[in-house]
Structure 1
Amino acid sequence: MLNLDPALYVDPAVLPRERDTIFTRTWQLLGPVSQVKDRGQYVAADLAGAKVFVVRGRDGQLRGFRNVCRHRGAKLLEEGTGRCATIRCPYHQWVFDDTGRLVTAPWFGDDPDFNPADWPLEPIHVAEWRGLLFAAISPETDLTTQLGELIAELADEPIETYQAAATDRVVFDANWKVYTDNFVEGYHIPGVHHAFFAAIEFEQFKTTAHKGFIRMTAPPRDGLFYRGKWLWMWPNWTLSLFEGGMNTSRINPLAFDRTEQIYHFYFADTSEATASKRASTIAGNLAVVREDYEVCVATHKNYMSGGYSSGPLSPRHEQGVHYFQNKVKEALAV
């Protein structure tokens, strides 16, 4: 098994292909569905450059749309969460309702050929699964099919009972696949995560690939907040379990050489009495993942330099890397 061709990480022409063949055609995690539990609440996101949003309508239904005005293509809503009664374009003040219908095109004149009904927002697909919200632009499959064997993997975990309590966003200068390669293997733990390495039984670290996801496990030693199971799901989201909760993240390319990772943290107990413990758990999670970014940035620079050609993958520790890279190659037809 050889590592993926470095040109697929550093050629700017690859990301538009990935947007078309991976990110547009798959379900993307937008975090907890509680972000849009009330009427008028929305979450707006970037999906590898494609702008989308999901809103809870006045009728209680969830709907998703391209975050693109039908007039001249302006972005309608800033990324993140919020609440609105209608969707007003900040550029030329076109107004859409929460079903996507164009309500007003002010100062547009009396053109008899202009019919507002011809210019609704472009819809996208929306789905919920166990308290998590997903969106897809042109999905190849339904969400259940994409999740694959993850459904059975988490059947006994009460993930929908956890309450979203915090979010964090980190941006770093490396290709999204460099970071994903890093996440789906434990081979780097002794060299990069010294405290984490001391807190697990590394000789028992195991990585296995399954339909739709990769599982990494290691017995934790006393004092580790993680429960010893880390999951990555095709194409770009993660779920890690800790005592009394979990975190999820979405690995999203902003450019061929720039990536954002959006984290959400969920807890069974969100009372004031556990606030300090929750803060410590969140800080511990983020401390571990931030140790990865430096090595990923340096790796990306070496790929850019032309000084690296594909090396061998470890059969024991890099099955996850092999699985992920094969999925990418299949999507790109390379």
Structure 2
Amino acid sequence: MLNLDPRLYVDPAVFGRERDTIFATAWQMLGPAAQVAGRGQYVAADLAGIKVFAIRGRDGVLRAFRNVCRHRGAKLLEDGTGRCATIRCPYHQWVFADDGRLLNAPWFGEEPGFRPEDWPLEEIHAAEWRGLLFVAVDPREDLLAQLGALVEELADEPIETYQAVRSETVSFDANWKIYTDNFVEGYHIPGIHPKFFAAIDFEAFETTAHKGFVRMTAPPREGLFYRGKWLWMWPNWTLSLFAGGMNTSRINPVAPARTEQLYHFYFADLSPERDESRSDTIARNLAVVREDYEICAATHRNYEAGNYRAGPLSPRHEQGVHYFQERVRESLGR
């Protein structure tokens, strides 16, 4: 097994193809479905440059749309969460209903044949699963098919009972695939995460690839806040379990050499007396995550400079890397 050709990580043309063949065709996890539980609540997000939003209509129906005005292409809602009764374009003040209908095109003038009903927002797909929110622009398969064996993997975990407490966005200067390669293997733990390494039985660390996801497990030693199981799901989201909760993240490409991770942290116990404990768990999670960024950025620079040719993958530790890279090759037609 060989690592991916480094040119696939740095070529802007590849980045554009990935937007079309991966991020536009796969379901994207946007965090807790509670963000859109109430009428008028929305989540606006970037999917590798594709702007979208999901919103709960006044009729209680969850819908999603491209976050683009039908008039001249302006972005309608800023990325993040909020609540609105109607959607007003900040550019020329066109107003859309929460079901996508164009309600008003003010000061437009008389245009023969112009009919508002011909210019609704472009609807995309939205779904909920186990308390998580997903959207897809043009999915190749339904959500459960994409999740694959993850459905059974998490069947006994009460993930929908955990409540989101906090979100964080972190970013770094490397291609999204370099970071994903890093996430789906534990081989780097001794060198990059010395405290984490000391808190697990690394000799028993195991990585296995399954339909739709990669599982990493290791027996924890005393003091480790993680429960010893980490999951990555195609194409770009993660779920890690810790005592009394979990985190999810979405690995989102911003540019060929820039990536952001959008984290949510969920807990079973929201009592005030546990505030300090929850904050400590979140801080320790993020500290481990940030330890990866420097090596990912340095690796990207070597790829970008043409200073690296594809090397071998470990059959013991890099099954997850091979699985992810094969999915990328398939998506790009390589």
| TM-score of the aligned structures, taking structure 1 as reference length | 1.00
What value does the CA root-mean-square deviation take over the aligned residues? Answer: 0.4
SS at match of 2:111: coil
Deviations 1:152-208 (A, max 9, x none): 000000000000000000111100000000000000000000000000000000000
Which residue of the partner structure matches residue 329 of structure 2?
Answer: 329
Q: In the TM superposition, what is the alpha-carbon distance from 1:110 to its structure 2 partner?
A: 1.5
Which residue of the partner structure matches residue 250 of structure 2?
Answer: 250
Amino acid at match of 1:303: Y
In structure 2, what is the Cα distance between the partners aligned to 1:41 and 1:271?
25
Which residue of the partner structure matches residue 82 of structure 1?
Answer: 82
Which residue of the partner structure matches residue 199 of structure 2?
Answer: 199
SS at match of 1:249: strand
Which residue of the partner structure matches residue 226 of structure 1?
Answer: 226
Which residue of the partner structure matches residue 175 of structure 1?
Answer: 175
Amino acid at match of 1:27: W
Amino acid at match of 1:113: G
In structure 1, what is the Cα distance between the partners aligned to 2:126 and 2:6?
34
In structure 2, what is the Cα distance between the partners aligned to 1:292 and 1:280?
20
Deviations 1:282-308 (A, max 9, x none): 000000010001100000000011110
Which residue of the partner structure matches residue 264 of structure 1?
Answer: 264
In structure 1, what is the Cα distance between the partners aligned to 2:271 and 2:100?
38
Amino acid at match of 1:213: F
Q: In the TM superposition, what is the alpha-carbon distance from 1:113 to its structure 2 partner?
A: 1.3
Which residue of the partner structure matches residue 64 of structure 2?
Answer: 64
SS at match of 1:9: helix
SS at match of 1:13: helix
Q: In the TM superposition, what is the alpha-carbon distance from 1:64 to its structure 2 partner?
A: 0.2
Structure 2 alignment gaps of length 5 or more: none
SS at match of 2:289: helix
Deviations 1:312-332 (A, max 9, x none): 000000000000000000000
In structure 2, what is the Cα distance between the partners aligned to 1:34 and 1:135?
14
SS at match of 2:5: coil
In structure 2, what is the Cα distance between the partners aligned to 1:59 and 1:224?
45
In structure 2, what is the Cα distance between the partners aligned to 1:105 and 1:158?
47
Name the count of aligned residue pairs.
334
In structure 1, what is the Cα distance between the partners aligned to 2:104 and 2:271?
44
**Please, which moves more after superposition, 110-119 or 187-196?**
110-119
Deviations 1:109-166 (A, max 9, x none): 1212111000000000000000000000000000000000000000000000000000
In structure 1, what is the Cα distance between the partners aligned to 2:130 and 2:70?
33
Deviations 1:220-276 (A, max 9, x none): 001110000000000000000000000000000001110010000000011111100
Within 5 Å, give how 1:14-53 maps onto structure 2: 14-53=14-53
In structure 2, what is the Cα distance between the partners aligned to 1:286 and 1:110?
55
In structure 2, what is the Cα distance between the partners aligned to 1:111 and 1:229?
60
The reply to whether residue 2 of structure 1 matches residue 2 of structure 2 is yes
| TM-score of the aligned structures, taking structure 2 as reference length | 1.00
In structure 2, what is the Cα distance between the partners aligned to 1:37 and 1:91?
28
* Percent of aligned pairs sharing the same letter: 75
Amino acid at match of 1:247: N
Which residue of the partner structure matches residue 187 of structure 1?
Answer: 187
Which residue of the partner structure matches residue 277 of structure 1?
Answer: 277
In structure 2, what is the Cα distance between the partners aligned to 1:308 and 1:112?
60
Amino acid at match of 2:122: E
Which residue of the partner structure matches residue 117 of structure 1?
Answer: 117
Which residue of the partner structure matches residue 157 of structure 1?
Answer: 157
In structure 2, what is the Cα distance between the partners aligned to 1:6 and 1:157?
38
**Please, which moves more after superposition, 47-56 or 109-118?**
109-118
SS at match of 2:292: helix
In structure 2, what is the Cα distance between the partners aligned to 1:206 and 1:179?
19
In structure 1, what is the Cα distance between the partners aligned to 2:239 and 2:91?
38
Amino acid at match of 1:28: Q
Amino acid at match of 2:243: E
Amino acid at match of 2:32: P
In structure 1, what is the Cα distance between the partners aligned to 2:15 and 2:321?
19
Deviations 1:31-79 (A, max 9, x none): 0000011111100000010000000100111110000000000000000
Within 5 Å, give how 1:285-324 maps onto structure 2: 285-324=285-324
